[in-house]
Amino acid sequence: MINSLEGFNKMDINELMKKATIFHGHICPGVVIGVLVAKYAIENGYEHSPDEELVAIVENDNCSVDALQALLGTTFGKGNLIYRDYGKNNFTIFSRKAKKGVRLSLKSTSFDKKKVTRDEKVKLLLESNIEDIFDIEEVEYNPPPKAQIEESIVCDVCKELTMSSRIVDYHQSKMCIPCYQKFKK
Ligand SMILES: [Zn+2]
Ligand SMILES: [Zn+2]
């Protein structure tokens, strides 16, 4: 459990919700979960990442991830958002600058079992203590490697530029994955 910096650098939750909601498109429990993860991260020394200072590993592709993209700067396009398709609401964030990592894992809350509307759930989440919503632990500093910039090669079949690591050698031709899949049938 991380209790340091209590009361220090508190982020305004309304500001964060506004920013995340503009990016995501609507207010929902998922986006609140992501906002709470981002808020915790920012308050504990994982500041917004213009480049690859932070890297986030997420285990779902639901609404919550958009809040991380909007607020932490861990984005799909920069390659510092790693998606593992485990269907879990777990969020691991590493800071390459501070050489540290933290993992937030969504717990089942008391209101999960009750029949609450989407709006009620948003309100309940925003009113809760972060420790009641997530298991939070520091993790060993072990971030995935930085995104690589690769040369592009023209696919011999469709002539489209393709990252070299995604080119398949097949019957003396260099093929992109969709062309290879068509040919090997
Ligand atoms: Zn949503
Ligand atoms: Zn092709």
Read off the pLDDT of each residue in 105-112 and give the average, rounded to a whole number: 85
pTM of the predicted model as reported, rounded to 2 decimal places: 0.86
Ligand closest to 155 (CA) is 2
Sheet hosting strand 100-106, strand order edge to edge:
81-83, 54-58, 90-95, 100-106, 134-139
Ligand closest to 24 (CA) is 1
What is the distance in A from the centroid of ligand 2 to the CA of 160? 6
Output phi, psi for 130, to 5 deg.
-60, -35
Ligand closest to 181 (CA) is 2
**The pLDDT of residue 1:** 40
Residue 49 pLDDT greater than 70, yes or no: yes
For the stretch 75-104, pLDDT in tens is 999 999 999 999 999 999 999 999 999 999
Residue 3 pLDDT greater than 50, yes or no: no
Read off the pLDDT of each residue in 13-23 and give the average, rounded to a whole number: 96
Helices (H), 25-170: 29-43, 64-72, 110-113, 118-127, 130-133
Task: Tell me the C-alpha distance between 88 and 106, whole Å.
Answer: 8
Q: pLDDT band for 10, please (50, 70, 90 cuts).
A: low
For the stretch 143-171, pLDDT in tens is 998 888 889 999 999 999 999 999 999 99
Ligand closest to 65 (CA) is 1
What is the distance in A from the centroid of ligand 2 to the CA of 183? 10
Min mean pLDDT across 11-15, 28-32, 84-88, 101-105 is at: 11-15
